Amino acid sequence: MSKPKPPISRTLSLFLFLGILGLVASKSTIEPCSNSDSCNAMLGYTLYTDLKVAEVASLFQIDPISLLTANAIDISYPDVENHILPSQLFLKIPITCSCVDGIRKSMATKYKTRPSDTLSSISDSIYSGLVSADQIREANSISDPSVLDVGQTLVIPLPCTCFNGTDNSLPAIYLSYVVRAVDTLAGIAASYSTTITDLMNVNAMGSTSIKEGDILAVPLPACASNFPRYSADYGLIVPNGSYAITASHCVQCSCGPGNLNLYCMPASLAVSCSSMQCRNSNLMLGNVTVQQSTAGCNVTSCSYGGYINGTIVTTLSTSLQPRCPGAQQFPTLIAPPSSVSKDSIFAPAPAPQSDGRGTSGTIAPTSSVVPSTGSLPGVTANAPSGSVSSDASFLVKPLARAPTILLLALFAELMVSML
Ligand SMILES: *[C@@H]1O[C@H](CO)[C@@H](O)[C@H](O)[C@H]1NC(C)=O
Ligand SMILES: *[C@@H]1O[C@H](CO)[C@@H](O)[C@H](O)[C@H]1NC(C)=O
Ligand SMILES: *[C@@H]1O[C@H](CO)[C@@H](O)[C@H](O)[C@H]1NC(C)=O
Ligand SMILES: *[C@@H]1O[C@H](CO)[C@@H](O)[C@H](O)[C@H]1NC(C)=O
Ligand SMILES: *[C@@H]1O[C@H](CO)[C@@H](O)[C@H](O)[C@H]1NC(C)=O
């Protein structure tokens, strides 16, 4: 007969057990599916090192152009595919989400192992926590993870959801977002212009607590297309504030900021493309003419209807609207990023004002421990004012954190050895 353990020790081991489980099992949102339809989805990806645009695209086997347009980066920038994107940059990666064994996921990404890769370096670093080492091991039936052959091709299963391309009956595309230690649910909701309630519903969460490494499905408002099922770009959906290039790089479709109607026109890089003129008219794809009459505004537009059998389908339509539409607005494009602002790495996502849903208790305190550079005279005295580049602060902060990380690591090790 074993002696009953003293209560304190029992509580402690339960705590340790849960703590270690917590280190291993992160939550992610699982969407069951039954049909073979796929959809477009996004991954929230943080670069583990400096990489060229084309290198990031090849990690996920996607078109570099689609990577750029999904992030509202201007593709007319010279030699943009060889532009080097900075380590720690956060990118949205457009992928195709399929139905595999009754669950939504993407199995299209393959990774060729290099010397010194381990399953955990591939999962935590190269794919920034979007996949776990165990998931890679299972997907590739690896019996001994300690022996990875260099040059071995691994399937990288990646999380994605479709939810029918809608959120609260409005068109949406879902971003798989890996929670960082600094994140709060309120902060994530605010950064993606959604609400805590919506995030909780989408992810079937019972409470607002989230943990580093959890993967949330975040709905992004988007412009949907309604091309016929047999068109090559069937299901095209473009998130608000970005654009996409389709029809063999001939057509460019953008979304927002004024409304969520997909707007397509000839792409700037279009070279040898089939005709983009609407039949029986002199209007080109994207052209809109308006005619004010006593009955209202007679709007004629030449719009894009999908890429079918190598043909750009155009549709001429006329409608009578109460008011004439203003000039077409376009999302703001950015130059390819070369540096990462320190806020996007270490600061918590902006906390919302208050969405009046009684969630104020979960909002992270807004007072910052680290005063922002230059806001306090005492701080600027320590650093040459005006010379602190974002690179410098990027270096300083991890150093300042190092002792804490070391302590945490030692503590974790201690916990493990005590088991
Ligand atoms: C999916 O969305 C379409 C409209 O986009 C709607 O007609 C259909 O009923 C929805 N299906 C489900 C299962 O919600
Ligand atoms: C789309 O984005 C713009 C800012 O780029 C924002 O003002 C607008 O409210 C957004 N629309 C929707 C429906 O989210
Ligand atoms: C029609 O569209 C073409 C291509 O985008 C553009 O160059 C032209 O200016 C437009 N014409 C009118 C009348 O809007
Ligand atoms: C609207 O304009 C089109 C072409 O400009 C014309 O064919 C059509 O009759 C007009 N409709 C109305 C109601 O004015
Ligand atoms: C596309 O082309 C194939 C043969 O070239 C034809 O059988 C098919 O009907 C075409 N599809 C459409 C939608 O036109």
Atom 13 of ligand 2, residue of closest alpha carbon: 221
pLDDT band at 271; cut points 50, 70, 90:
confident
- pLDDT at residue 143 above 70? yes
Ligand closest to 292 (CA) is 4
Distance between Cα 321 and ligand 2 center (Å): 23
Distance between Cα 263 and ligand 2 center (Å): 15
Distance between Cα 169 and ligand 1 center (Å): 8
Distance between Cα 260 and ligand 3 center (Å): 21
- Collapsed DSSP state (helix, strand, coil) of residue 177: strand
Is the CB of 26 within 6 Å of ligand 4? Answer: no
Q: What phi-psi label fits residue 16: left (phi over 0), alpha (psi between -120 and 50 degrees) or beta?
A: alpha
Is the CB of 298 within 6 Å of ligand 4? Answer: yes
Atom 9 of ligand 3, residue of closest alpha carbon: 287
Ligand 1 pocket by Cβ (under 6 Å): 164, 166
- Asked if residue 213 lies in contact with residue 179, where contact means CB atoms within 8 angstroms, the answer is yes
User: Token pair for residue 268?
Assistant: 């700037």
CA–CA–CA angle 206, 211, 17 (5° rounding): 95
Q: Biggest alpha carbon distance in the chain?
A: 96
Is the CB of 318 within 6 Å of ligand 4? Answer: yes
- Asked if residue 165 lies in contact with residue 235, where contact means CB atoms within 8 angstroms, the answer is yes
Stretch 136-162: mean pLDDT, rounded? 93
Q: Which ligand 2 atom sits nearest the alpha carbon of residue 170? A: 13
Which of 164, 225, 262 for a ligand 1 pocket mutation test, highest count of atoms within 8 Å of Cβ?
A: 164
- Output DSSP code: residue 111: E
Ligand 2 pocket by Cβ (under 6 Å): 193, 221, 240-241, 256-257, 260
Q: Which ligand 1 atom sits nearest the alpha carbon of residue 224? A: 5
pLDDT band at 266; cut points 50, 70, 90:
very high
- Give DSSP secondary structure letters for 260-275: S--EEEE-TT--S---
Stretch 366-388: mean pLDDT, rounded? 30
Which of 161, 162, 163, 166 for a ligand 1 pocket mutation test, highest count of atoms within 8 Å of Cβ?
A: 166
- Collapsed DSSP state (helix, strand, coil) of residue 61: coil
What is the pTM (predicted TM-score) of this model?
0.78
Residue 339's pLDDT is: 92
Ligand closest to 241 (CA) is 2
Q: Which ligand 4 atom sits nearest the alpha carbon of residue 293? A: 14
Atom 14 of ligand 2, residue of closest alpha carbon: 221
Q: For 83-141, what is each residue's pLDDT tens digit?
A: 999 999 999 999 999 999 899 999 999 999 999 999 999 999 999 999 999 999 999 99
pLDDT band at 269; cut points 50, 70, 90:
confident
| Strand pairing report for 39-46 and 170-178 | parallel
Cα 305 from chain centroid (whole Å) = 27
Residue 96's pLDDT is: 96
Is the CB of 309 within 6 Å of ligand 5? Answer: yes
E-strand spans in 208-329?
Answer: 215-224, 237-239, 243-246, 251-254, 263-266, 288-293, 296-308, 311-321
Ligand closest to 308 (CA) is 5
Residue 405's pLDDT is: 36
- pLDDT at residue 346 above 80? no
Q: Which ligand 2 atom sits nearest the alpha carbon of residue 332? A: 5
Average pLDDT, the chain: 80
**Which has the minimum average pLDDT: 181-190, 199-208, 364-373?**
364-373
- pLDDT at residue 12 above 70? no
- pLDDT at residue 415 above 90? no
Ligand closest to 328 (CA) is 3
Stretch 336-340: mean pLDDT, rounded? 93
Cα 379 from chain centroid (whole Å) = 36
- Collapsed DSSP state (helix, strand, coil) of residue 360: helix
Atom 12 of ligand 4, residue of closest alpha carbon: 298
Q: For 44-80, what is each residue's pLDDT tens digit?
A: 999 999 999 999 999 999 999 999 999 999 999 999 9
